[in-house]
A = this chain, B = another copy of it.
């Protein structure tokens, strides 16, 4: 494939908004045709998520209120890295334990996703966790998550029916299904 006609080249840039969660930058770039244009983008530390499957075929799911869409969503356990260099497997083990109380004996890496590569560098690594053992949830004071166990096959139907909206959750469940079906 010859894709040399597609690349842009950075001239310079600066941070235009620095919030607690979001860091927005504006860069000037040269397009492949030589024109100059601006690019607004978010720099993100990266994240991890996990499909935790019990021995009897349930997934540990979360109900979480998401302010931007003003809805309570079904999501798999997930969280941000503490830093760009944090080990992703350590991070996802921490998030699973803190948000749900569960630890796991077996971890399977299902690759990653860019949720919005047009305007953010966020990457979310996806895992399956098996061999689960229940412990105590350990949420921050200002974190509110309800944990529910749902049959894996019911969740696939919920993805196809539109009952699950979150992108990482939909994709991780379908990838887990194809991966486990192929292995079986």
Please report A residues at the B interface, Cβ cutoff 8 Å: 1, 3, 5-8, 10, 16-17, 19-22, 24, 26-27, 29, 31-33, 35, 37-43, 63-69, 71-73, 111-124, 141-142, 144-146, 148, 156, 159-162, 165-168, 170-171, 174-175, 178-179
Contact = CB atoms under 8 A, between A and B. Distances in A.
B24 A17 contact: yes
A111 B1 CA distance: 32
Given A112-B162, A113-B165, A141-B33, A119 B22 contact: yes
A148 B8 contact: no
Nearest to A35: B142
B142 A33 contact: yes
Contacts of A35: 141-142
Contacts of A119: 21-22, 68
A113 to B, nearest CB: 4
Contacts of A162: 111-112
Of A72, A166, A170, most B-chain CB atoms within 10 Å = A170
A122 B114 contact: no
A73 B114 contact: yes
Contacts of A41: 67-68
Q: Which 10 A-B pairs have the closest CB atoms?
A: A19-B40, A111-B162, A17-B17, A66-B117, A115-B115, A6-B65, A113-B167, A174-B174, A41-B68, A68-B121
A156 B182 CA distance: 13
Contacts of A42: 22, 68
B171 A167 contact: yes
A26 B37 contact: no
A117 B72 contact: no
Given A17-B16, A35-B142, A40-B21, A67 B8 contact: yes
